[in-house]
Structure 1
Amino acid sequence: MADSDPHFDTASAVTPPEALPSMAYRAYFLLLMVLVSASVQGERYLMVVMVEPIRHELGLSDAAIGMAKDMIIAIVYILAIIPLARLADGWSKRKIVAIAATVWSAAVIVCGLAKSFWILLIGRAGIGLGEGGFTPPSQAWIADLFPIRQRATALSIFLLGASLGTFLGPAVGGWAVQAYGWRETLIFASIPGFILAPIVWFTLRDSRSGLADGASAEQARPVPFLQTARELLAIRTLPPLIAAASLNALLTMGFISWAPAFMERTHGMPASQAGLQMGGALFFGSAIGHTLGGPLADYLGRRDMRWYVWILMLSGACATAIGWMILTGPGDRVFPLYGLNMLLGGLSAAPLMAVVAGLVPSRSRATAIAVLMVSIQVVGLGGGPVLVGALSDALRPVYGEDSLGMAMRWALLVGIPSTILAWFASRSCRKDFAAAGGWDRSTMPAAIH
């Protein structure tokens, strides 16, 4: 297979592949990435339980809250994530991850000190910059260290950090806001990132791009951006897959970011209590989904590679149905349904990352992940909360405090095109998998014991 694969040359076929680091080191590396991911996710999700106190203290509209909470991060992603990913493809992933953790921790302090909307916006932009610097190199780094048929499982473990942060942010944050106030809570939340950054810098070591795929050093050498763009656009599966994932993120984030406010306005639940229940539901739901999604995709993918994409398609369709039940059912069922929604969505996260990392040349891996994240940030994490907030403001004259629930119902419509796009991606994925190479077990390098 290596002889016919355009990403493998004769020299790499006859030269013994460089050995992977020991499993003990890779386990330690993965644990550290989980903790760093939990740090940034926890700091990001803190604000969902601070919507009402920040809105009242700074005198902000729902649309302004949506902008500060999420949309500014999407704007920063547009400006910075692809250049940072290009840097990660050719420089030290270890240093970029450590610097990113320092940046977002400092930005959280800025948010805690904000006296106006614009200072709050600057702080959130800094969190977006740090998160944008962390996501592409961390996922590409995992792909460099874990062979492709184990990669979705490794990414599932990595995603536990997001689950942990999703839980700790609302749960601990909701309690801390009640006890100490939102400003002090943000200052305390900056501490973990400042601790983890030097640990990453001094205890981890960089790995060559494509190491786990058996790619040669020549194949891992970065190429000009236009050539990278042409390579990515030539992969038919990527555009509809990225579009489907982005619409799924819009639906998910449009619901999650407004959940405490929805519960407070519609069901009369205090934000601190809503934050704790939401944190628990999202943590257990996403943790189970993330834990099962990668191994499930690796297992089913051995029988039909399209399962890596079908899982995304099915999760999007189910999320739409569950979203309707969340909005129309009684208050005591809302958070259990949120947990189920996150479980189903979590099943698709690791397979999605594995597909994107596995379809592209290793030299362009961080860039491809950045393109995925740009789309998810802009359409999903940024557009979802802002869309719901803007619709809520527009519907307020008619529905009053119930306008938020009505706006969230309109957001359910994006589940239809997301399911269709994922189906289109599944039609071409087997051919693209075959062209990418690296899915052959014979290309896997051995690990050092």
Structure 2
Amino acid sequence: MADHETIPATPPALPPETLPDDLPGMGYRAYFLLIMLLLSASEIGERYMLVVMVEPIRHEFGLSDFAISMIKDLAITVVYLLVVIPVGRLSDRGSKRKIVAVSAVIWSTAVLLCGTAKGFWTLLIGRAGIGMGEGAFTPPSQSWIADLFPIKQRGTALSIFLLGTSLGTFLGPALGGWLTHEYGWRAALMFASIPGFILAPLVWFTLRDPRPGLADGIAATKSVALPFGQTIRELLAIRTLPPLILAAALNALLTLGLVSWAPAFMERSHGVPANVAGMQLGLALLAGSAIGHTLGGPLADFLGRRDLRWYPWIIALGGAVSASIGWFILTGPSSSVFPLFGLTLLSGGLSASPLMAMVTGLVPSRSRGTAVALLMVTIQVVGLGGGPVFVGWLSDMLHPHYGEASLGMAMRWVLLAGVPSTLLAYQASRTCRHDFAAAGGWGGAPHKTLAAVH
């Protein structure tokens, strides 16, 4: 599509035979978003709580940085990868409500198991269970939001949902550091398991499943899921999607490679105790990610009505800015570290809602869960599997030469991910207007089937 072409801001009226059922009222949808926000906060908080427990666990069990990275990140990543695609497919065909409720029970039980750990293997299994719960939660939650909010409101709705991530990134390190200092890391993990057990029955008994594509006016006959292989081919044929997903994954590698090791970096390089680092990091991440997540969706919706390329442009800017800030985090004085971490999360938060809005808006409603799962698999492999684990491995390799400063040296290498992430997001901007139009969400024709395309 030529650069001077524009996409209509509002889609044409649907013919009578494809009119959707009535959307639930705004009161119900606000309550739904509140529950999703709290679930997201519980999930993220339990994951990030362990970052302030690295040093006590490392010393108690005599573990290397690589072993800690296996517990902290790799165990979650591997199981997440095994779970997220099948659950994404299941959420396209079955009850999102039931999947979300069960996922909360799974990750809360796994956190309890971590709290009883007596060694490396128990912690590893518990963290794997958290990965199972997270993998089961992500696809249905995001596709559920897409089913209830039309595309012009979706970025804003996803911003509200992502405030749970901001809350979790604060409560995890902040409360985790305080509870660990006062009661020990095992008791801290046991306290962390409580919210999920409370929220799961609220999801099961007070929320209800919408029809896929309801908010977009997709007829029920159009939302029937295709076979898995055909679905993947259909998704990868959307030219904007592969570079967009890879850009997001590289941004995650950069951010998680820094944040995941931040308290340990502060303790080793600047002598800041874990409980102090956890509180300061939590406050910085809360402020940065909350502002970024709050502004990202509405900003993208506002700018996107004028030029749809702003969605990937915001993602491109996020990678470039995060890499630049990361250099100053690792080379500047200790007094600037936490404010700069807040700016890093602000930059990443701005791009999160546009990313999710693009993924759910570019793909057919019948395969949104699978598309979200594909996105998250790539982020997990490249971001969590590549960032924190790579930093832990490289820190061990550099330790004989640099000593405790090896961690900071290893963290510098992940900053290089900002270059390809920016280029890939720019590539996605070159095709996004055509692909949005093909998806039908902004006034174009609906997606064709593979048979029609090929």
Identity between Structure 1 and Structure 2 (%): 71
Q: Flag the 1:441–1:204 CA change in 2: closer, same or farther, 3 A.
A: farther
**Partner amino acid for 2:441?**
G
CA distance in 2 between counterparts of 1:372 and 1:292 reads 22
**Partner amino acid for 2:309?**
R
Could you tell me whether the CA contact under 8 Å between 1:12 and 1:216 is conserved in 2?
Answer: no
What root-mean-square deviation, in Å, do the aligned CA atoms of Structure 1 and Structure 2 show?
Answer: 1.5
Q: Flag the 1:154–1:441 CA change in 2: closer, same or farther, 3 A.
A: farther
Equivalent of residue 248 in structure 1, options 247, 251, 264: 251
Verify: 1:64 aligned to 2:32, yes or no. no
Aligned to 2:263: 260
CA distance in 2 between counterparts of 1:412 and 1:222 reads 39
Q: Flag the 1:15–1:356 CA change in 2: closer, same or farther, 3 A.
A: closer
Equivalent of residue 340 in structure 1, options 327, 340, 343: 343
Of 273-282 and 53-62, more deviation after overlay is shown by 53-62
Name the SS of the counterpart of 2:20 in structure 1.
coil
CA distance in 2 between counterparts of 1:387 and 1:189 reads 28
Task: Report 1:167-182 matches (<5 A).
Answer: 167-182=170-185
Number of aligned residues: 435
- Residues 284-330 of structure 1: CA distance to partner in whole angstroms, max 9, x if unpaired? 10000000000000000001000000000001001111000001100
Verify: 1:424 aligned to 2:427, yes or no. yes
Verify: 1:76 aligned to 2:79, yes or no. yes
| Deviation of 1:393 (Å) | 0.5
TM-score by length of 2: 0.94
CA distance in 2 between counterparts of 1:197 and 1:441 reads 39
Aligned to 2:5: none
Equivalent of residue 215 in structure 1, options 214, 218, 241: 218
Aligned to 1:150: 153
- Residues 329-354 of structure 1: CA distance to partner in whole angstroms, max 9, x if unpaired? 00000000000111011000000000
Aligned to 2:369: 366
**Partner amino acid for 2:191?**
F
Name the SS of the counterpart of 1:63 in structure 2.
helix
Aligned to 1:230: 233
Unaligned 5+ runs, structure 2: 1-10, 447-454
CA distance in 1 between counterparts of 2:196 and 2:75 reads 21
Name the SS of the counterpart of 1:215 in structure 2.
coil
CA distance in 1 between counterparts of 2:17 and 2:111 reads 51
CA distance in 2 between counterparts of 1:416 and 1:345 reads 15
CA distance in 2 between counterparts of 1:32 and 1:15 reads 30
| Deviation of 1:11 (Å) | 9.5
Could you tell me whether the CA contact under 8 Å between 1:71 and 1:383 is conserved in 2?
Answer: no
Equivalent of residue 125 in structure 2, options 122, 125, 136: 122
TM-score by length of 1: 0.95
**Partner amino acid for 1:197?**
A
CA distance in 1 between counterparts of 2:331 and 2:348 reads 20
CA distance in 2 between counterparts of 1:46 and 1:174 reads 8
CA distance in 2 between counterparts of 1:306 and 1:441 reads 16
Aligned to 2:317: 314
Could you tell me whether the CA contact under 8 Å between 1:72 and 1:382 is conserved in 2?
Answer: no
Could you tell me whether the CA contact under 8 Å between 1:12 and 1:214 is conserved in 2?
Answer: no
Hey, which bits of structure 1, 4+ residues long, moved more than 6 A?
A: none
| Deviation of 1:62 (Å) | 0.3
Aligned to 1:433: 436
Aligned to 2:272: 269
Unaligned 5+ runs, structure 1: 1-7, 444-449
CA distance in 2 between counterparts of 1:36 and 1:14 reads 37
Verify: 1:23 aligned to 2:26, yes or no. yes
- Residues 243-301 of structure 1: CA distance to partner in whole angstroms, max 9, x if unpaired? 11001000000000100000000000000000000000000100000000000000000
CA distance in 2 between counterparts of 1:165 and 1:234 reads 35
- Residues 151-185 of structure 1: CA distance to partner in whole angstroms, max 9, x if unpaired? 00000000000100110000011000000000011
Aligned to 2:416: 413
Could you tell me whether the CA contact under 8 Å between 2:154 and 2:357 is conserved in 1?
Answer: yes
- Residues 347-389 of structure 1: CA distance to partner in whole angstroms, max 9, x if unpaired? 0000000000000000000100000001111110232100001
Verify: 1:102 aligned to 2:105, yes or no. yes
